[in-house]
């Protein structure tokens, strides 16, 4: 199974999960044209796209959902609350498929398991993807890491986790106080510090690759997120875990994810480059 981060950050998110026969797009907070270009640039095939899965209705996750679904003729999967919330903004011309946390489903050879997250919207979820004996967990936009997320991370070979902000940069930064409070709340976004603590917990388990995602351009720096994650993994006795940084502007991957019997995770071209930019 492969993961390509087409874009991730406060102004647009899209992820591609692929096997040799099936691709799933998770969120489309960038234009359909950018999704198509990023897929091609990553060496993946847009004709393998089988479905879109949406985490929640904030515009940095859904602004391109309608256009992408229509352009590639894809069904859009989301919780009932999210489908209601995106209803008008996404427009018509595609199939809507309601999903529920704790109820896995199959798309081609990929099993998708939605799980609840804590965020200020209708009914947000993260996703676990299982194929080729490997398991990928994607969890961004969460104010706290609850038991459902923790349980998913404990069983993952690769975790995409939100490292939204540096706490000091957020507090000292230009955002108005109510917005700072919202970001720091239990339904806001994960700080580097909190996310790093959660990684240290997950380090007892099989995880071999971590992708730091949804970094704020205003309240974070890739170097700070990377250092927080690397220090936590080092302290937890797992310096072997590969730490990669997702970017708002450039795709990351494809990242090859292998299962527990073979913990090695190979990274291809742009992932190496982005990591070294940190």
Give the footprint of Zn ion on this chain (CB under 5 A). 58, 60, 141
Would you say 223 and 126 are in contact if contact means Cβ atoms under 8 Å apart?
A: no
Of 6 and 131, nearer to Zn ion (C-beta) is 6
Of 17 and 233, nearer to Zn ion (C-beta) is 17
Q: At what angle do helices 192-202 and 147-154 cross, to 10 degrees?
A: 50
Of 1 and 142, nearer to Zn ion (C-beta) is 142
Q: What is the 3-state secondary structure (H, E, C) of 134-145?
A: EEEEEECCCCCC
Least Å distance, CB 13 to Zn ion, is 6
Q: Nearest-CB residue to Zn ion?
A: 58
Of 56 and 267, nearer to Zn ion (C-beta) is 56
Q: Which residue has the tokens 């936009």?
A: 141
Least Å distance, CB 162 to Zn ion, is 8
Q: In what order do the strands lie in the sheet with 49-53?
A: 96-99, 76-79, 49-53, 23-26, 14-18, 2-7, 252-256
Least Å distance, CB 180 to Zn ion, is 16
Least Å distance, CB 2 to Zn ion, is 23
Q: What is the largest CA-CA distance in the chain?
A: 51
């Amino acid at each position: 199974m492969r993961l390509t981060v087409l874009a991730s950050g406060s102004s647009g998110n899209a992820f591609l999960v692929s096997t040799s026969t099936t691709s799933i797009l998770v969120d489309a907070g960038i234009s359909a044209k950018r999704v198509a270009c990023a897929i091609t640039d990553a060496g993946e095939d847009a004709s393998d796209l089988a479905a879109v899965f949406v985490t929640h209705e904030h515009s940095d996750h859904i602004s391109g959902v309608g256009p992408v679904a229509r352009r590639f003729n894809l069904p859009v999967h989301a919780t009932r609350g999210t489908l209601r919330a995106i209803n008008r903004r996404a427009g018509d011309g595609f199939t809507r498929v309601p999903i529920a946390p704790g109820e896995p489903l199959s798309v081609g050879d990929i099993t998708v398991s939605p799980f609840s997250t804590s965020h200020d919207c209708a009914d947000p979820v993260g996703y676990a993807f299982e194929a080729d004996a490997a398991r990928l967990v994607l969890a961004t936009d969460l104010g706290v890491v609850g038991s459902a997320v923790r349980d998913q991370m404990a069983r993952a070979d690769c975790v995409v986790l939100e490292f939204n902000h540096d706490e000091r940069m957020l507090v000292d930064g230009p955002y108005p106080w109510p917005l700072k409070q919202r970001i720091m709340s239990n339904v806001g976004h994960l700080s580097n510090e909190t996310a790093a603590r959660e990684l240290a917990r997950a380090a007892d388990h099989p995880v071999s690759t971590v992708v730091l995602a949804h970094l704020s351009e205003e309240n974070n720096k890739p170097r700070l997120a990377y250092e927080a994650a690397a220090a936590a993994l080092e302290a937890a006795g797992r310096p072997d875990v590969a730490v990669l940084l997702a970017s708002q502007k450039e795709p990351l991957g494809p990242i090859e994810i292998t299962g527990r019997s073979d913990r090695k995770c190979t990274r291809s071209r742009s992932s190496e480059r982005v990591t070294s930019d940190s």
